[in-house]
Amino acid sequence: MFQSFENKSTPQFGKARVEALRATFDALGIDGFLVPRADEYQGEYVPESAERLAWLTGFTGSAGVVLVTRTEAIVFVDGRYTTQLASQVDPTVFTGGDLVGAPPAKWLAEHAPDGFRLGIDPWLHTGAEVTRFETALSEKGGSVVLLESNPLDPLWEDRPAEPIEPVILQPDNVTGIPATAKIATIGESVSARKAQAVLVTDPSSIAWIFNIRGNDVPHTPHPLARAIIYADGKADLFVDERKVGDEVGAYLAPLATLLAPTEIAARLHAIASAAGRILADTDVTPVALTLSITEAGGEVVTAPDPVKLPRACKNEAEIAGSAAAHVQDGAAMVEFLAWLDGQQPGSLTEIKAVEALEAARARVGQTMQNPLKDISFDTISGAGENAAIMHYRVTTQSDRRINDGEMFLIDSGAQYINGTTDITRTVAIGNVPEEQKRFFTLVLKGFIAISLARFPKGTRGCDLDPLARIALWKAGADFAHGTGHGVGSYLSVHEGPQRISRVSQQELLPGMILSNEPGCYRPGAFGIRIENLVHVREAEPVEGGDLPMLSFETLTWCPVDRRLIVVSLLTEEELAWLNSYHAEVREKLMPLISNADVQQWLVAATAEITR
């Protein structure tokens, strides 16, 4: 199994660990300390050695930060994690904060006492974050204190070792562009900005530039590494030599000078000392590295990560690879869903369902000679009230039976060498109440609205987000997460800058892959989410139209549970789309399925729906 069901939350230690942290404040000259859910590479998924937030608080979600002051400890999370937070931390020690509406900088501006000294680990925060903290404290006569080391690390006696998993090569037939061409293009962009070099710190960008992958963090196949790329097209790659085997070393040698990760500050210092101008994305670069530049007399030129958009806008090979991976993944999903329908209600648990789905993906991968490399995130397998926890992670402690008369939500994804998948289906177990079917259909209407969307060039994610919500809004409901996130190409299942959400200002561009996943959640009762991946493409012209348009092309192929649909709530256009989608699901997946019972299930699951 790629997933563990161990309950790793340890709220019982929160009080003692917070007290131990506070005991360091006087010696450090601080009044508070921030612990983000981030590592030295600013990634969403972090190695066990960087799980400082979980170690301190017990909260194991993938986004959050705790501010520990002399008298308070506030854990800031977004709407996905409010229920999980309440169940995972000691309420006598920690209180909840709003990571979106009132993040730490805003809290400091409103609540920090005069002269407040905020301690941070400069490797765990970006320059942009530090600027926000400094601004928040400036009117109170406070300050940000950049600490030489993290005070939690000496307290964490059994802290795991940092990962040294091997770097692997990503073939050109799935990357579409050789690394030499990518590096040359970046060098030209550096020269055009009249800079000497660009600092690249996002491991997913490193993986994309050099056409390499790794296994340093759970479920995201990038190596923890950084790079400096120069205006003349040369490059330095900072990666632990223990990760680089002979084949990979021979491949990388013509592309870059290989250096130890600890040498990057000295390298930046040397460039900066020669009055160097270095491009850096201060939204993702640790402030420790930008300080290495400015303290040596160099200039940090704020610029976006040079491959953020090229990485997001997939080329033809990447789109073709993703499409093939999704057809394969759809076959595995159908095998799993057919098996699930054959089980007696109450005979399965949430964990057994996860195990069965991963086994199906492994079997289909072997059959198609495109092995399952990993899952793309821990599977969300929630029955009944557990489905209402948006990012629920089943453990041996929380595992429950999937019972008759409730909905079961399974949100999962896979990593294949040719693509990353992410799919959610909510299915009926026995006879589900009509009210839950109504909300399922309202979610389905939003899901179809995004699938059918046509939009002019220049449209942003925030412009489309209401399409997924309007049916729910009319019913007095909503969901507290974005409608869609970007997805990488055998990289992170959560990739920016593309999103469909209230706050996304990024223009949607051809080649971007996004999720389409509206939902509806009633705490203590039920949860619903339907998710496909789509990619942005040029839309077919419409007779009489006068603007170039974009649209979405669906990548995910798997039936939507017909038993949960209130057909009278669908428009003719919505019903036509669903029937067409199901016909294509059947056409694409049937040739991959050899089991007669699964074939029969697929025919029934994709049968035309009539009024």
The pLDDT value recorded for residue 593 is 97
Which segments of 99-202 does DSSP mark as H helices, in order?
A: 104-111, 127-138, 152-155, 172-175, 179-192
CA distance 283 to 304: 8
Confidence (pLDDT) at 332: 98
Residue 302 has pLDDT above 80, yes or no: yes
pLDDT of amino acid 3: 93
DSSP state of 220: B
The predicted pLDDT at position 358 comes to: 98
pLDDT of residue 85: 86
Structure tokens at 12: 């019982």
Is the per-residue pLDDT at 121 higher than 90?
A: yes
Contacts of the segment 353-360: beta carbons below 8 A, 24+ positions apart: 353/381, 353/402, 353/408, 353/410, 354/3, 354/5, 354/379, 354/381, 354/394, 354/410, 354/412, 355/1, 357/332, 357/333, 357/410, 357/412, 358/1, 358/2, 358/3, 360/332, 360/333, 360/335, 360/336
Q: Does position 377 have pLDDT exceeding 90, yes or no?
A: yes
Contact 103, 135 (CB under 8 A): no
Q: State the DSSP code for 170.
A: -
Per residue in 154-184, pLDDT (tens digit) is: 999 999 999 999 999 999 999 999 999 999 9
- Classify 608 as helix, strand or coil: coil
What Cα–Cα distance (Å) separates residue 590 from each residue in 176, 180, 243, 610? 29, 41, 42, 22
Q: Residue 9 above 90 pLDDT?
A: no
Q: Which helix (H) or strand (E) holds 35?
A: strand 32-36
* Average pLDDT score over residue span 112-134: 95
Contacts of 463 (CB under 8 A, 6+ apart): 455
pLDDT at 275 over 80: no
Question: Which pLDDT tens digit goes with each residue over 305-314?
Answer: 999 999 999 9
pLDDT in tens, 520-531: 999 999 999 999
CA distance 597 to 367: 18
Burial class (CB in 10 A: 0-12, 13-18, 19+), 162: middle
pLDDT band at 498 (very low <50, low <70, confident <90, very high): very high
Q: What is the pLDDT of residue 201?
A: 97
Helix, strand, coil percentages (3-state) for the chain, rounded to 5, are 40, 20, 40
Element (DSSP H or E) covering residue 279: strand 277-280
Q: How high is the pLDDT of residue 469?
A: 98
Convert the pLDDT of each residue in 389-447 to its tens digit: 998 999 999 999 999 999 999 999 999 999 999 999 999 999 999 999 999 999 999 99
Predicted confidence band at 503 (pLDDT cuts at 50, 70, 90)?
very high
> Which of 481, 493, 506, 378 lies closest to 99, judged by CA?
481
Lowest mean pLDDT of 79-83, 137-141, 443-447, name the range: 79-83
pLDDT digits (tens, 9 = 90+) for 21-42: 999 999 999 999 999 999 999 8
Distance CA 555, CA 84 (A): 31
Q: How confident is the model at residue 74 (pLDDT cuts 50, 70, 90)?
A: very high
- Compute the mean pLDDT over every residue in the chain, rounded to the nearest whole number: 96
Distance CA 293, CA 130 (A): 16
pLDDT attached to residue 159: 95
Structure tokens at 38: 């981030």
Q: Based on the number of CB atoms within 10 Å of its own CB, is 598 exposed (0-12), middle (13-18) or buried (19 or more)? A: buried
Cα 49 from chain centre: 19
Percent residues over pLDDT 70 in the chain = 100
Q: Write the pLDDT tens digit of every residue in 556-585.
A: 999 999 999 999 999 999 999 999 999 999
* Mean pLDDT of all residues in 66-85: 90
**Amino acid identity at 111:** H
Q: Which residues contact 493 (CB under 8 A, 6 or more apart)?
A: 219, 220, 376, 377, 413, 420, 422, 485, 487
Query: pLDDT band at 81, cuts 50/70/90?
Result: confident
How confident is the model over 198-240, as pLDDT tens digits? 999 999 999 999 999 999 999 999 999 999 999 999 999 999 9
Q: Is 233 left (phi over 0), alpha (psi -120 to 50) or beta?
A: left
- The pLDDT of residue 83 is 80
Query: Count of CB atoms within 10 A of residue 83's CB?
Result: 19
Say whether 534 sits in a helix, a strand or coil: strand
